[in-house]
Structure 1
Amino acid sequence: MLDIVKQWAWYDWVMFFLRLIVCFSLTVTTVKFGDYLTLPLWMVILWETLVFSVPWICLMLSYRYYLIAEMLLFGGLSIYLTSMFPEAYLSFLMPAFLIAANSAEKSFRWSAPITIVFIPLLIMFFSRAIDVFEIFPQVGLAYVIGFAFHLLIVNHRQNEIIRKQNSVLEQYLTQIERVTLLEERDRLSKDLHDTMGHSYVSIIMGLETLRQDVASQEGSQKLESLLQHARKGMKEVRGYLHQMGAPQETLPLVHSLRQLAEEFQTHAKVNVRFRAIGEEHPVGKQVKMTLFRCLQESLTNAVRHGHATDIVVSLHFEQQQTRLEVQDNGHGVDNWEDGFGITTMKERAALLQGRVSVYSERGEGTLVTCLVPRMVESADEIIRLFIVDDHSFIRESLRTILEGQRELQVVGMAEDGAQALKLCEELEPDLVLMDLEMPNMDGITATKRMKEKWPDIRVLVLSTFQDTEKAKVIMRSGADGYLLKSIESRELVETIRLVYRGGTMIAQDLFHKMLDAQQVNEQDDFLVAPKIRENGLTKRELEILQMLSQGMRYKMIASKLYLSDGTVRNYASTLYDKLGVRNRDEAVQKGQKEGLL
């Protein structure tokens, strides 16, 4: 009850004090003329106490309960007092005002006739000394004034809702502007790196090749001067890129999300509780941006659409993933449909091999969960690369591009699979860039043997052709990614980081071709497996569901199907989305219930 009172607006206090003043006046008058009462004085005072408290308590629960209680208790008291004192009919003016002020929706259809006509007729029946032309206009006027007060209340509430929504939108736009600036700064820095940085590298390499062609001392001095000038320019470009980094990007994830929650609570006037569970581990800029956007969109939706007043934000640092949960006490919906914001959140998470799920039920609020696999970007992290390609120009070009990255180090190169296997044991690389078509030993054979001997080495295939069959074979052999050599240098660097941290990546065009071929092969399965067709499960997803039901872990499934761990996790995430579940236990239960197992 105290929490409800704390939320009162000015009009609630006005009606409370009106009730208090009138009931207090009635009590004082009753004590003064207690000798003329037909009932014991204590009984009438108790009645007046109930008249003050019961309708007020009912109003906290439901306005319909209030209307009935007000009419029965206060109306009955007015009829009783008027039967002895005709002037006491004036005591019904205040409840007539309050009944009109607190009515809503269709209740006016029955509260108005009862208040203006029925109860005054009962008062006149028990006290024939009252003039009909006095009581009806006065009670009617009190009801009209109460209705006008009701309109004032509605207008005030609407203005409050609009003000609150505007505050949320202003806060949302501020955050959007901040994040957009960060993203644009990040994009610009990458573009400058890919253009100016690589241009300077090419100039320096070209000038270095001229050393043997310059015979005179004067020419050598000019060449050395040009090299120094180019290196100085490249150093300045790198300095500018470093300066473009925003201070917000250096903040820990917990601090950034907590700050966002506190700012939202201040502007939106809702209670937002933030908690971090588990030991915080560093995350990359893309992960931080994705979780930031997810929290921002979830908070805004909770207030704008769910009209929530209390929101709990939980950030879980788990061994394999980072999980953000936003639970609100809003209205909720029975049939949730993704809007533009939620769709964008899911696309952002999917780029990081994560996923976003929404659970909402009417009367129980909404729960938004964002899962992102743990991919740590440490300032001291060095990824040791090994390049395998039979073309020396491609090897040198890749080496030049990749060594321009702070955390990438090319520790060796080989011209075929056989040489790569020999050098891998000595160099111990973290990730191998593997060509497919090579003499002596091709990329498929080299990848299979490399994975058998060193399963922790990540293998990323770089090929010239979109050969779906070879792509399937080499992915089954244990490769962790398949890209085309036409890929942009920035995308190549991002993919190397992703694959190194446990992800799997296939070139988009090639993936679409593989998907189209798979859909054609699965048409017969749709005819013989109606349960699978209903859920849209593929043969591979059903196979993984069977293994999950046997208690197998992702790594065991990956080894049995000759897939990478990241690929199996992708299949499992898609499987969970299609079944509408959140984890492997729920997936197995639903699979058994629907006859999929």
Structure 2
Amino acid sequence: MFDIVKQWKWYDWAMLLLRMVACISLILTFIELRDQFTLALWVVVLWELAAFSVPWLCLLLNHKAYWVTETVISGGISIYLTSIFPAAYLSFIVPAFLMAANSSGIAYRWTGPVTIVLIPLLIKLYAPSTNLILMMVHVALAFAFGFAFHLLMVNHRQNEIIRTQNTVLEQYLSQVERVTLLEERERLSKELHDTMGHTYTAVIMGLESLRSTAADAAAQHKLSDLLELTRTSLDEIRGYLHELDSPQEQLPLVQSLRQAAEEFGRNAGVKVGLRVLGDEYQISRQAKMTFYRCLQESLTNSVRHGHATRMDVLLQFELQQTRLEIQDNGRGTARIQEGFGLSAMKERASRLQGQVSIHSDSEEGTVVTCSLPRALKPADDVIKLMLVDNEPFVRDSLGMILESERDFEVVGRAEHGLDAVNMCEELQPHLILMDLEMPVMDGITATQSIKQRWPSIKVVILTTFEQKGKAVQAMRSGADGYLLKTMEPRELAEHIRIVIRGGTLMDPSISAKLFEGDASDFLEEKTVIAPLDTSAPESSPLRVLYDLTPREMEILQHLSKGMRYKSIAMKLYLSDGTVRNYASALYAKMGVRNREEAIEAANKAGLI
């Protein structure tokens, strides 16, 4: 109730002051003329205090209750006073004014007749000496002035709503324009990188091969000049790509989000608070922009659709993931319609193996959570690669293509598996692209040796072999991926980033062949490839098919014990909305609709 008082405008306080002045004046009059009352002074004073406080309290809660109490209590005291002093009907002027000023909708159709006709008639009944016509004119004028004041308040409120909506619309248009420009710059940067960058790389590789075969010194000199010119042009294109980076990409994540939240709160006239939990660590450029876009879209939707006045933003740096949670105090909705903005948010997160979830209930606000897995990269955000292939041309070609990526660095090249094992001791790469068939030591043996000595090093088999047996052997030896050399360079770069973030990849054609085999063999092989939480029984193939994360398994265990979301949140030191989001993802993976079906499916699968 008092939250409503805090939102009062000047006209609300003016009416409260008018009511207070009228109450004090009447009480002083009662004290001065106390000998002429038929009731005790304290009864009359309490009556007047009730006429001041009860309608005011009812006004904060329910308009109909206000009109009834104002009519009965204020009108009753005016009738009583007029029966003693004929001129005391003027005490009803202020209540008549307030009843009109506090009108709502078309309520004046019945409050007007009651105020202007019924109350004066009752006063005339108990005080026959009063002039009914004059009394009705005075009350009608007070009601008219009150209704005019009401129209003034309505006009002021509507103008304020229009100004607020215009501000929100301007902010929204500004965000749309900014996002559009950033998206276009990012698209242009990617297109230049994927087309011009790779084209120049291919030209350089071709010129290098021609120079090695050219016998004429003049021809070699001309090819060297062309190579130098091509390399210079490629460096210039890379410089242009760096200039196209948006300002938000150059700022740390916390500073970028804080800047966006403060700017939105200032322009939209709402309160936006940002809290950061955990120690900040470096994240990729794509993850940073995903969080930034998610915050922009969520803040805009909170005001535009939910009419929120406050948003609380929580950025949490966890061990395995980075999580952004935006919670508002808006109206919320029991049924969320997925529009363009929400679809774009989910698409960006899914590209990084993350997810965006929304929890909203009517009159309870909305919680938007964006979770991205933490990329296991060094602090400088550069992935150190090693290329292992017995063909020098393949090594050089891959090196030139991959080094054109801003976050890749080729730190070593080896022509067989034994060289790769020896070089790992010194170079400590983050990921190795390993061929299968090589002299001295093949790729499967080298992978097994590297994984035994350095488990943190990622190994991706990059080969021309599509046999199911080779793929199974490679994955059983500890490989983190099995890809074919026929794939596009841009796809290879994205697959490398996915593996670095903890994913396991297999070429679609190989996956199809695995599915063609015996189902039990496939599940056995997949269990070796992508083991999940060891607390679940090894004999349950359904555990693998659900692909539950350790946190989802933990939520499932607590749900099976009958715990509610809030209890789980308190136990795991998470917010209620975060637990609900985990549960939603859990239900989606298991193909169920609620906790009962999830527990039943989990029991059948041996998960709990």
TM over 0.5: yes
Q: Quote the offset at 1:24 in angstroms.
A: 4.5
Question: What SS does the corresponding residue of 2:459 show, helix, strand or coil?
Answer: strand
> Is the deviation greater in 419-428 or in 382-391?
419-428
Q: Is the 8 A contact 1:281 1:376 kept in 2?
A: no
**Alpha-carbon distance change, 541 to 102 in structure 1, aligned in 2, over 3 angstroms:** farther
> Is the deviation greater in 367-376 or in 113-122?
113-122
CA distance in 1, matches of 2:462, 2:241: 29
**Alpha-carbon distance change, 548 to 99 in structure 1, aligned in 2, over 3 angstroms:** same
Answer yes or no: is 1:12 the counterpart of 2:12: yes
Residue segments in structure 2 that go unaligned for 5+ positions in a row? 524-540, 558-580
Q: What is the match of residue 579 of structure 1?
A: 587
CA distance in 2, matches of 1:438, 1:574: 45
> What is the CA deviation profile of residues 192-231 of structure 1, one whole-angstrom value per residue up to 9, with x for unaligned ones?
2333333333343333344455556655544443333333
Q: What is the match of residue 540 of structure 1?
A: 544
Q: What is the match of residue 502 of structure 2?
A: 502
CA distance in 2, matches of 1:518, 1:342: 40
> What is the CA deviation profile of residues 355-382 of structure 1, one whole-angstrom value per residue up to 9, with x for unaligned ones?
2222223343222222111126667354
Q: What is the match of residue 234 of structure 1?
A: 234
> What is the CA deviation profile of residues 136-169 of structure 1, one whole-angstrom value per residue up to 9, with x for unaligned ones?
5554554455445444434433332332233223
CA distance in 1, matches of 2:440, 2:213: 36
Q: Quote the offset at 1:255 in angstroms.
A: 1.0
Answer yes or no: is 1:318 the counterpart of 2:318: yes
**Alpha-carbon distance change, 171 to 464 in structure 1, aligned in 2, over 3 angstroms:** farther
> Is the deviation greater in 293-302 or in 248-257?
293-302
> What is the CA deviation profile of residues 368-408 of structure 1, one whole-angstrom value per residue up to 9, with x for unaligned ones?
22211112666735433233457654443212211333543
CA distance in 1, matches of 2:408, 2:171: 39
Q: What is the match of residue 265 of structure 1?
A: 265
User: Superposition pairs for residues 237-256 of structure 1, below 5 Å?
Assistant: 237-256=237-256
Q: Quote the offset at 1:254 in angstroms.
A: 0.9
> What is the CA deviation profile of residues 163-183 of structure 1, one whole-angstrom value per residue up to 9, with x for unaligned ones?
223322322332332233233
CA distance in 1, matches of 2:553, 2:582: 14
TM-score by length of 1: 0.78
Residue segments in structure 1 that go unaligned for 5+ positions in a row? 523-536, 553-572
> Is the deviation greater in 306-315 or in 251-260?
306-315
**Alpha-carbon distance change, 108 to 348 in structure 1, aligned in 2, over 3 angstroms:** farther
CA distance in 2, matches of 1:8, 1:510: 68
User: Superposition pairs for residues 440-479 of structure 1, below 5 Å?
Assistant: 451=451, 454-462=454-462, 478-479=478-479
Q: What is the match of residue 362 of structure 2?
A: 362
**Alpha-carbon distance change, 517 to 303 in structure 1, aligned in 2, over 3 angstroms:** farther
Aligned positions, number: 559
Q: What is the match of residue 60 of structure 1?
A: 60
CA distance in 2, matches of 1:238, 1:171: 34
**Alpha-carbon distance change, 218 to 366 in structure 1, aligned in 2, over 3 angstroms:** closer
Answer yes or no: is 1:78 the counterpart of 2:78: yes
Q: Is the 8 A contact 1:549 1:588 kept in 2?
A: no
Q: What is the match of residue 282 of structure 2?
A: 282
Question: What SS does the corresponding residue of 2:315 show, helix, strand or coil?
Answer: strand
Q: What is the match of residue 164 of structure 1?
A: 164
Q: Percent identity?
A: 53
CA distance in 1, matches of 2:81, 2:189: 84
Q: What is the match of residue 599 of structure 2?
A: 591
Q: Is the 8 A contact 2:284 2:381 kept in 1?
A: no
Aligned-partner residue type, residue 540 of structure 1: V
> Is the deviation greater in 288-297 or in 23-32?
23-32
> Is the deviation greater in 493-502 or in 407-416?
407-416
Q: Is the 8 A contact 1:50 1:73 kept in 2?
A: yes
Q: Is the 8 A contact 2:59 2:65 kept in 1?
A: yes
Q: What is the match of residue 201 of structure 1?
A: 201
Q: What is the match of residue 329 of structure 1?
A: 329
Question: What SS does the corresponding residue of 1:432 show, helix, strand or coil?
Answer: strand
Q: Is the 8 A contact 2:376 2:500 kept in 1?
A: no
Q: Quote the offset at 1:504 in angstroms.
A: 3.9
Q: Quote the offset at 1:253 in angstroms.
A: 1.0
Question: What SS does the corresponding residue of 2:380 show, helix, strand or coil?
Answer: coil
CA distance in 2, matches of 1:18, 1:516: 85
Q: Is the 8 A contact 2:332 2:364 kept in 1?
A: yes
Answer yes or no: is 1:173 the counterpart of 2:173: yes
> Is the deviation greater in 396-405 or in 45-54?
45-54
CA distance in 1, matches of 2:389, 2:326: 48
CA distance in 2, matches of 1:88, 1:545: 78
Q: Is the 8 A contact 2:556 2:599 kept in 1?
A: no
User: Superposition pairs for residues 390-539 of structure 1, below 5 Å?
Assistant: 393-413=393-413, 428-435=428-435, 451=451, 454-462=454-462, 478-483=478-483, 485-505=485-505
